[in-house]
Chains A and B, each alone.
Chain A
Amino acid sequence: MAAFTGTSSVMFLSSSSQQIKAPIRISSLKAVSLSTQRAKFPSLRMRSVPRFKVSCAAKPETVEKVCEIVRKQLALPAESTLSGDSKFSALGADSLDTVEIVMGLEEAFGISVEEESAQSIATVQDAADLIEKILETK
């Protein structure tokens, strides 16, 4: 079952098109059928840029554990609602926070993350997916 992770709204229709009335929510917890979306938005083109990674959705427990670590690093209250879509920068993380979050994740999951990956993680989902990917190949 293919699932897409990535940014939550589609912005690569050509610029002359109007606002998308029904934005495609790309959430890794839902299966998105490519053919259905193509039917709705015929001009949808997948650029070669990997805005979307086709990957299996990370387990909810992993996502939750990531959220916990993010909350801690960014000093967010325990009740604050985070989800896979949550962008670190929107949660108040600067670049130093992002790498510290990754270091926290390494400690919590017992893994090692490469530098390029560490600096490119933008959302909770990115982190969870990367963690599971690393754990799989361990």
Chain B
Amino acid sequence: MFCKRGFSMHTTVKSFCSSSYLTTIPLPSKRETHMWYITPDELKDASLIDQYLNVLSPSEKENVIRLPGDKLQRSAILARTLVRTTLARYTNSVVSPSLFKFRKNNFGKPEVDWQCDKNWKPPPLHFNLSHTSSLIACGVTVDMPIGIDVEEKQRKTRNNLSSLARRFFTLDEVDYLNTISNPEIQRQEFIKLWTLKEAYVKALGKGFSAAPFNTFTIRFRGTSRLSLQKCGHSNSEESEIIVETLAEPKNVTTNWRFALLELASSHYVAICVENKRIKGVENDPPLLKVWKTVPFIKDELLSETDSVRTISSFV
């Protein structure tokens, strides 16, 4: 087990982990959304994981030790390493990964607790993390609340889809799913819808009680019927994913923008950002950039490749 042997609570950050080894990235512009992801199954090198452990805070390490089993411990270490190294990249080497502190907003959503220095103004970074056992992803923006959710495409549910849908989705969404006769496609559409709803609630950052799943419908703007089966690069309004709260269906705010991707043919990723209209700036859809990373070792920008297939882009 990685964490059973003793380690010093006062571990100095090894030079391996200094931010000079981490590619610094220019801040996302206000019209960009960045996403970094890790695939835990490809990261089993024990010495690398040990070094990642040094990036974590003492309380994070404590939490890791308490987890049952190597796999969960590794996953937890990777998740915290991903968040810390990702954020560090955007500070132009000012803040190294191990120095970040975090806190939760009033509703439990994690955010950066910048340790302010008079000489340096921290960038207004927003981030959100999502994990499955096979993929951990961290989305980052400047000034735009963000929520992301990742699910395995092949994910099976213990309960049948109709009972899950009837219970958690709105009538419109249930109707949509019922129009799909192919059970495999229906299952995939269910997962896509789930990730979009999850991403929205996480972006809102007010906890689930603020927006229980059955109080809002996710659909395409153009038609009254949702169809996430179309994949394409159409930028028309018709293909924009929107959210409609049941309380005020006519008042479709365009505050929230969605993107839905298929990653490495194995996962669906939904991203939701708050579309703040900036005076004097064209309200273009956020550009999405996606990197696959092995922190300190390798980063691959994959957004324009086959690994990242856009099902529905930000419009």
Chains A and B belong together in one complex? yes
Name the A residues within 8 Å of B131 (CB-CB): 89, 94
Quick check: which of A26-34, A37-45, A57-65, A80-88 contacts chain B, the rest being far away? Answer: A80-88
B122 at the A interface (CB under 8 A): no
Q: Mark A65-90, 1 if CB is under 8 A from B, else 0.
A: 00000000100110011110110011
Contacts of A76 in B (CB 8 A): 68-69
> B124 contacts the other chain (Cβ, under 8 Å)?
no
Query: Are A103 and B159 interface neighbours, CB within 8 A?
Result: yes
Partner of A95, one of B63, B133, B149, B214: B149
Q: Are A96 and B69 in contact (CB under 8 A)?
A: no
Residue of A nearest to B73 (CB): A90
Q: Which residues of chain A come closer than 8 Å to B164, judged between CB atoms?
A: 99-100
B101 in contact with A15 (CB, 8 Å):
yes
Q: Which of B62, B71, B158, B168 neighbours the largest number of chain A CB atoms within 10 Å of its CB?
A: B158
Give the docked Cα–Cα distance between A85 and B72 (Å). 15
A55 at the interface (CB under 8 A from B): no
Residues of B within 8 A of A82 (CB): 68
Task: Count A/B pairs, Cβ under 8 Å.
Answer: 75
**Interface check B207, CB cutoff 8 A:** yes
List the B side residues contacting A90 at CB < 8 Å.
63, 67, 72, 76
Chain A residues lying within 8 Å of B104, measured Cβ to Cβ, are: 11
Other-chain contact of A119, B67, B132, B151, B213 (Cβ < 8 Å): B213
B106 within 8 A of A: yes
Contact across chains for A120 and B158 when beta carbons are under 8 A apart: no
Within 8 A of A (CB), among B88-136: 101, 103-104, 106-107, 113, 115, 130-133
B68 near A115 with CB under 8 A, answer no
* Option from A15, A92, A100, A115 in Cβ contact (under 8 Å) with B72: A92
Interface residue B224 (Cβ < 8 Å from any Cβ of A): no
A89 shortest CB reach to chain B, Å: 8
The answer to whether B141 has its CB under 8 Å from any CB of chain A is no
Q: Is B249 an interface residue (CB 8 A)?
A: no
Query: Would you call A54 an interface residue if the criterion is a C-beta within 8 Å of the partner chain's C-beta atoms?
Result: no
The reply on A19 being an interface residue by CB < 8 A is yes
List A contacts of B158 (CB < 8 A). 73, 100, 103-104
**CB of B181 within 8 Å of the partner chain:** no
Please report which residues of chain B, range 10-45, place their CB below 8 angstroms from some CB of chain A when the two chains form the complex.
none
Residues of B within 8 A of A116 (CB): 208-209, 212
Chain A hits for B68, CB < 8 A: 76-77, 80-82, 91
Query: Cα distance A133–B183 when bound, in Å?
Result: 38
A49 touches B106 (CB 8 A): yes
C-alpha gap A81/B130 in the complex (Å)? 24
Most chain B CB inside 10 Å of its own CB: which residue of A80, A81, A115: A115
B41-69 CB mask vs A (1 if < 8 Å, else 0) is 00000000000000000110011001111
Which residue of A15, A85, A99 contacts B115 across the interface (Cβ within 8 Å)? A15
Output the residue of A76, A92, A120 with the most chain B CB within 10 A: A92
Residues of chain B touching chain A, judged by Cβ–Cβ distance below 8 Å, are 58-59, 62-63, 66-69, 71-72, 75-76, 101, 103-104, 106-107, 113, 115, 130-133, 149-151, 155, 157-159, 164, 167-168, 194, 198, 207-209, 212-214
The 29 sampled A-B contact pairs (Cβ below 8 Å) are: A9-B59, A11-B104, A12-B103, A15-B115, A47-B106, A49-B107, A76-B69, A77-B69, A81-B68, A82-B68, A90-B63, A90-B76, A92-B75, A94-B130, A94-B132, A94-B149, A94-B150, A95-B194, A96-B151, A96-B157, A99-B168, A100-B159, A104-B158, A115-B168, A116-B208, A116-B209, A119-B209, A119-B212, A120-B208
Query: Beyond A94-B150, A96-B155, A100-B158: 4 further Cβ-contacts under 8 Å?
Result: A76-B68, A91-B68, A100-B164, A104-B158
Interface residues, chain A, CB within 8 Å of chain B? 9, 11-12, 15, 19, 23, 47, 49, 73, 76-77, 80-83, 85-86, 89-92, 94-96, 99-100, 103-104, 115-116, 119-120
